[in-house]
Amino acid sequence: MTDAAPRLIRSVRLPDAVEARIRSDFTAPPPPENPLNTQSLLELAHSYAPTAIILTHTAPLRQADIARLPDSVRLVATVSVGLDHLDVPALLARGLAVSNTPDVLTDCNADMAMLHILAASRRAAEYFTLVKSGNWTRPLGMDEMLGRRVTGKRLGIVGMGRIGQAVAHRARGFEMEVLYHNRRRLTPEEEAGATYYDRLEDMLPQCDILSLHMPGSAGAAPIINADTLALLPRGSVLVNAARGSLVDENALIDALRSGHLAGAGLDVYSKEPNPNPELTALPNVFLTPHAGSATVETRTAMGMLALDNVAALAAGKPLPSAVTA
């Protein structure tokens, strides 16, 4: 590591292989012990004068924050696909480059969605709690704690991008009928037999399971609310491994309590890392802590791609995963 190496700071500690590359090829302070928030990241940026900032959703940058960035910063590289924690137009208007980490996390996020589809449908959280608590003291009756079969069910996917298509591919292994709603209809090759619905409201009554895979948008109204939930068949399952802002959690709680939804699988929440306790207390919700990409392989690939962008910027080359709008 030399003074000529690109200078960067990061808002979080990255996987070991990524940290080793930072020590070898970049000039950077030690990784933070805990994820930095926006204010702490800005303070570090002013004290260290980096060329690049690597961050995640724990340190969002809005327009006012971007105005406070030091002039040394030329790139903001987010270790994520989603961009809802960044004001991308404001970053670009200031002349800063922006990059994200698409593709490398597709498979693990799709795997997580399938985990939630299975767990929410088969009441995994309730079974786990029963056994772990020591309260399983007699055989279950033939009519007790029955889940819902996944094989052969109708799966509705909202957002048929890379991850949505990967979920559809996995669902076909369970002989599921795939329905989808998307901003545009896919090509026949991409659809692979899935049924397209131009209007979400037309698809929802046909879904046994609904899985969300569209990006969030700061300030946008939730796409899943009391009205859209009411269109789902009674006893259906909702899975959200995309963004917490897509779901009106009060409406979701009502639907779960009333039995209109049999269950839900959630990896994301409107408030993180402290989700609504009324939601987390419900027995028929399978919960994970925004961990869709949390495997050694995927988080390492994400960090390496972020560093590839920093290295490309320093070398005057095109960014491998630039965000341009």
Q: How far apart are CA 275 and CA 297, in angstroms?
A: 27
Determine the 3-state secondary structure of 188 from DSSP. helix
Instruction: Give the count of beta carbons closer than 10 Å to the beta carbon of residue 97.
Output: 20
Q: Choosing from 175, 272, 278, 297, which is the catalytic residue? A: 272
Instruction: Give the count of beta carbons closer than 10 Å to the beta carbon of residue 63.
Output: 12
Q: Choosing from 122, 123, 181, 243, which is the catalytic residue? A: 243
Cα–chain center distance at 205: 25
Mark whether 189 is an active-site residue: no
Instruction: Give the count of beta carbons closer than 10 Å to the beta carbon of residue 233.
Output: 14
Q: What are phi and psi of 146, to 5 degrees?
A: -85, 130
Mark whether 272 is an active-site residue: yes
Q: Choosing from 7, 154, 213, 290, which is the catalytic residue? A: 290
Calculate the alpha carbon distances from 141 to 54, 107, 121, 144 in Å: 53, 38, 19, 5
Instruction: Give the count of beta carbons closer than 10 Å to the beta carbon of residue 196.
Output: 14
Calculate the alpha carbon distances from 151 to 40, 92, 196, 208 in Å: 48, 46, 21, 11
Closest by alpha carbon to 149, among 198, 209, 90? 209
Mark whether 243 is an active-site residue: yes
Q: List % helix, strand, coil for the chain (3-state, nearest 5).
A: 40, 15, 45
Q: How far apart are CA 126 and CA 94, in angstroms?
A: 50
Burial of residue 114, with CB atoms counted within 10 A of its CB: 0-12 exposed, 13-18 middle, 19 or more buried: buried
Residue 243 tokens, joined:
């963004």
Catalytic residues: 243, 272, 290
